[in-house]
Amino acid sequence: MTLKIAITPGEPAGIGPDLVVMLAQQSWPVQLVVCANAEMLKQRAAMLKLPLQLLPYDPAQPAQPQQAGTLSCVDFSTEAAVVAGQLNEANGRYVVETLHYVGEQCMSAEFDAIVTGPVHKGNINKAGIPFSGHTEYFAHLSNTPYVVMMLATEGLRVALATTHIPLAYVAKAITKERLHKVISVLHHDLQTKFAIASPVIYVCGLNPHAGEDGHLGREEIDIISPALEELRLQGMNLIGPLPADTLFQAKYLDHADAVLAMYHDQGLPVLKHKGFGRSVNISLGLPLIRTSVDHGTALDLAGTGKADPGSLFHALEQAIYLAQRAKLSHDR
């Protein structure tokens, strides 16, 4: 059976629409349903001098593999005309409407997975909609209390114990309960989504040198180590807490199926240094499959044809793989 994958290009003034047009230049074994403003996509294709035919999406029709140069499309109205490279907060609501639609449709099994392009979080907030990221948005939409953001590139997976919160709040957010939930989701999804029977998870400390025996912070002694100890009793293979700057040495990573970083910028710079443009952001623990690009809106490149579509291709390929796996295990 042919899968249906929903794609949101994200911020219309950014490179998301360009990348989706580039994606459409080859055929795919799945139906690609882009959920965005159709006129804006056509304009962007014209700017890039690339062919694009948008076929109105009809849920009543059986899914068909996508032919090169075409995309199925659910058309959404923007509030204001889109100018490549120029943010307009009037279009913040439009971006969230596309996310709401694909989230609902994926939960009702109309779509098999969602691939998201980059949004501009600031612009959505300026539109009066509190928004910290897709990960939290889909968690909220699906009533998921603990979602896990994981980015993956060849040879490295990095998951985060906390996502988009100010650094000043991170230490308070690292609780035993959070670590239990996050590590359980990560462990479970490495087994079910990535077929790793007994995942080895390396866990970073929070403080420099993982607290240096309590002299540089006590979270490792009071919270992280006890949480890991309890989870090890459940049979999980957890190494740490280790100082992050030690853990990210290659000799440790060679043995890790995933690294758990305590906060966004502890883990993601390393991942992006290793694989920017070839990495995928994967939401774990949601009742839907969602992958995304590893970069932002790159307003400076919108409409120029210079944006690299590599991460979006990886995100789509990863979503197809995960959706096929889910289908197989469901049909079994």
Ligand X SMILES: N[C@H](C(=O)O)[C@H](O)COP(=O)(O)O
Ligand Y SMILES: NC(=O)c1ccc[n+]([C@@H]2O[C@H](COP(=O)([O-])OP(=O)(O)OC[C@H]3O[C@@H](n4cnc5c(N)ncnc54)[C@H](O)[C@@H]3O)[C@@H](O)[C@H]2O)c1
- Contact between 269 and ligand Y per CB under 6 A: no
- Contact between 292 and ligand Y per CB under 6 A: yes
Query: Residue 120 touches which of ligand X, ligand Y, none (CB < 5 to 8 A by kind)?
Result: ligand Y
Report the alpha-carbon distance of residue 44 to residue 221 in Å, rounded.
Answer: 53
- Contact between 123 and ligand X per CB under 6 A: no
Report the alpha-carbon distance of residue 28 to residue 320 in Å, rounded.
Answer: 10
Quote the least distance from Cβ 27 to ligand Y, whole Å. Answer: 22
Contacts to ligand X from residues 263-292, by CB under 6 A: 264, 268, 281, 292
Query: Residue 135 touches which of ligand X, ligand Y, none (CB < 5 to 8 A by kind)?
Result: ligand X
Query: Residue 308 touches which of ligand X, ligand Y, none (CB < 5 to 8 A by kind)?
Result: ligand Y
Q: Considering only residues 4, 44, 120, 134, which one is a binding residue for ligand X as defined by CB under 6 A?
A: 134
- Contact between 311 and ligand X per CB under 6 A: no
CB nearer to ligand Y: give 228 or 270: 270
- Contact between 119 and ligand Y per CB under 6 A: yes
Residue nearest to ligand X (CB): 133
Q: Could you tell me which residues are beta bridge partners of residue 284?
A: 148
Contact indicator for 226, 203 with CB cutoff of 8 Å: no
| Candidates 27-35, 132-140, 247-255, 303-311; binding stretch for ligand X (CB under 6 A) | 132-140
Quote the least distance from Cβ 134 to ligand X, whole Å. Answer: 3
**E-strand stretches of 224-320:** 237-242, 258-261, 280-284, 290-292
H or E element, residue 176: helix 176-192
For the beta sheet containing 237-242, the strands, ordered from the edge strand earlier in sequence to the opposite edge, are: 53-56, 70-75, 31-36, 4-8, 113-116, 290-292, 280-284, 148-153, 156-160, 258-261, 200-204, 237-242
Contact indicator for 183, 238 with CB cutoff of 8 Å: yes
Report the alpha-carbon distance of residue 52 to residue 261 in Å, rounded.
Answer: 41
User: Phi and psi for 195 in degrees, rounded to 5?
Assistant: 55, 40
Quote the least distance from Cβ 293 to ligand X, whole Å. Answer: 7
Q: Is 140 exposed, middle or buried (0-12, 13-18, 19+ CB in 10 A)?
A: middle
- Contact between 296 and ligand Y per CB under 6 A: yes
Contacts to ligand Y from residues 132-151, by CB under 6 A: 134
Quote the least distance from Cβ 248 to ligand X, whole Å. Answer: 17
User: Measuring CA to CA, how many Å separate 38 from each of 10, 120, 311?
Assistant: 13, 20, 23
| Candidates 47-55, 66-74, 205-213, 297-305; binding stretch for ligand Y (CB under 6 A) | 297-305
Instruction: List, in order, residues 6 or more apart from 264 with CB less than 8 Å away.
Output: 160, 162, 163, 164
Q: Considering only residues 93, 308, 321, 325, which one is a binding residue for ligand Y as defined by CB under 6 A?
A: 308
- Contact between 301 and ligand Y per CB under 6 A: yes
What residues make contact with ligand X under the rule CB under 6 A? 133-135, 149, 264, 268, 281, 292, 294
What residues make contact with ligand Y under the rule CB under 6 A? 10, 15, 118-122, 134, 292-293, 295-298, 300-301, 307-308
